[in-house]
Amino acid sequence: MNKRRPLILDQIDVGALLEAFVRSRHYVPSGARRIRSQEHLPLALQSHVDSVVWRAWEDGSRIWFVKAKPVSCEQATGLEVMFFDMDGRLAGSGVWIWLANRGWVLSNPAAAT
């Protein structure tokens, strides 16, 4: 059986959605500087830079690292977002759905880590 991804997943900019999500949830302090290169990440986080979209910021000795991939949702844009601590351990994750009238909504809070 040939499963096709919904057309919307092929048209979205996951990086832009991830940045919008991070800003809207105030995940990173306003003064934090974006890390754009994998080489500037600690080794523990470099192993998480793979085929998914990632973003990282630093502020002094603190680093915020998050990665995301699109998920198929009915009539909405969804992201599976994974948050990692500075030691490369998964700190939390969840699927968030963008709803125009409500913003980012956690799809299934009971399943989030």
> According to the model, what pLDDT value does residue 109 have?
56
- High-pLDDT (> 90) share of the chain, %: 56
**pLDDT tens string 78-99:** 899 999 999 999 999 999 998 8
CA atoms within 13 A on the CB side of 66: 25
Query: Do 70 and 12 contact (CB within 8 A), yes or no?
Result: yes
| CA distances to 2, 9, 89 from 75, in Å | 21, 11, 33
Where do the structural domains in the chain lie, given as residue ranges? 7-111
> According to the model, what pLDDT value does residue 86 have?
92
Task: State whether residue 56 is helix, strand or coil.
Answer: strand
Cα(12)–Cα(34) distance, rounded to whole angstroms? 22
Residue 72's DSSP bridge partners are 77
Mean pLDDT over 30-47 rounds to 94
> According to the model, what pLDDT value does residue 42 have?
94
Measured torsion, CA atoms of residues 9, 12, 18, 23, in degrees rounded to the nearest 10: -130
**pLDDT tens string 5-30:** 443 444 578 999 999 999 999 999 98
pTM, two decimals, is 0.81
Mean pLDDT over 32-54 rounds to 92
Please determine, for residue 66, whether its predicted confidence score (pLDDT) is greater than 50: yes
Task: State whether residue 20 is helix, strand or coil.
Answer: helix
